[in-house]
Amino acid sequence: MKSKSLIAPSILSANFARLGEEINSVMSAGADWIHFDVMDNHYVPNLTVGPMVCKSLRDDGIKDFIDVHLMIEPVNELAKSFASAGADLISFHPEAVESTKDTIEIIKECSCKVGIAINPDTSLSVLDDIVDEIDLILLMSVYPGFGGQEFIEDTIEKIQAARELIDKQDHKIYLEVDGGDVSLIEVTDDMIVKVKFIGACSTCNISMQTFSWYGLINITEYDLQIYKFINL
């Protein structure tokens, strides 16, 4: 039986002045999860959001599944803070912790699902002793820290290998691929939207799903009856 593909848009693509409103819009348009890209300007050279944003969304009534990707070092204390703030799943990079098993246990003790994030240069062998303890494998198709990077072709083989590994397990494990973006180029007077896939999206085999999602969500601010989409 073929698994359903899930769409987990990152809040980094949102207007933070209207974050709750935009999350409600993307979920209404068909997104499945809300993805948090958490960066600390230490493990990766960028700085984004903390647990307070997650808690604010929960306090505002957002009940959707929140998928948190921690690109930080150290991990354990902030993972607990995100769990307390309302995260449903927390992924981390094994290079950023002293003991992968201990961090998995800490996250699970917070009643959260746990994922392992795999950088492009990291082998899937890091999963050998822990695959039976995790709920998600997050494969990076770009180097963490910045959007819009070129898709790393070796990711295709890693996706296939991860899928084979998952199929051998006795419990459900999600496979998530991170990287890519869509840029709005123009909305013409005759209701044609021109967009461009960049980064991993440019070669992604489910890019048309992203295309449809982008049209439903990000074009709504124009309040237009869209006639056609063109991918440049």
Q: Which residues form the catalytic set?
A: 37, 178
Residue with tokens 């994030």: 117
Looking at the DSSP assignment, which residues form a beta bridge with residue 137?
116, 175
User: Please, are residues 79 and 113 in contact by the beta-carbon 8 Å criterion?
Assistant: no
- Write down the number of H helices and E strands in the chain: 6, 9
Name the nearest CA neighbour of 83 among 119, 58, 117.
58
CA atoms within 13 A on the CB side of 120: 16
